Amino acid sequence: MPEWKPRNTERARELRNSATPAERALWRYLSRSQLGVKFSRQMPVGPFYADFLCRERKLVIELDGFSHDIQPGRDAFRDRWFVGQGYRVLRFANQDVLRETEGVVTAIAVELARLAHP
């Protein structure tokens, strides 16, 4: 039987409550299984919090704002960790989500379809 590990759900709740405008905009498309799969937001995965996570397809979606420009190596480290755990990571800039929402959602849908039929 796998060992149960507690998750920091209080921190996840704080992150959800302080979501950026881009995260809120994208969540309108990812919530309620609108793309055919369930997404969770600010989900603890190992030592990190995924902005959006689809467990079924092992897809992590990360939105990058100003803080990500300061430490790009940190994002690369996170991505390598996620990939090492079998996840696929898609990254989008906050500006792209706000300006080209439909394009971002289409890119996510295409990746979900690819992951459904590898």
Residue 4 lies in a domain: no
Say if CB 35 and CB 109 are below 8 A apart: yes
Name the more confident of 98 and 18: 98
Residue 2 lies in a domain: no
Say if CB 60 and CB 67 are below 8 A apart: no
How many domains in the chain?
1
Residue 70 lies in a domain: yes
pLDDT of residue 68: 47
Residue 3 lies in a domain: no
CATH number at residue 51: 3.40.960.10
Average pLDDT (48-62) is 96
For 65-78, the pLDDT digits (tens) are: 865 455 768 889 99
Per-residue confidence band for 15, with pLDDT thresholds at 50, 70 and 90:
low
Domain extent for 27:
9-116
Give me the helix-helix angle, 21-30 and 101-116, nearest 10°. Answer: 50
Q: Are strands 40-45 and 48-54 parallel, antiparallel or unpaired?
A: antiparallel
Name the more confident of 84 and 66: 84
Quick check: 25 pLDDT over 80? yes
Residue 1 lies in a domain: no
Model pTM score: 0.84
Residue 57 lies in a domain: yes
Residue in the structure block whose two tokens are 């809120």:
24
Residue 72 lies in a domain: yes
Share above pLDDT 90 across residues of the chain, in percent, rounded to a whole number: 67
Name the more confident of 6 and 59: 59
Residue 51 lies in a domain: yes
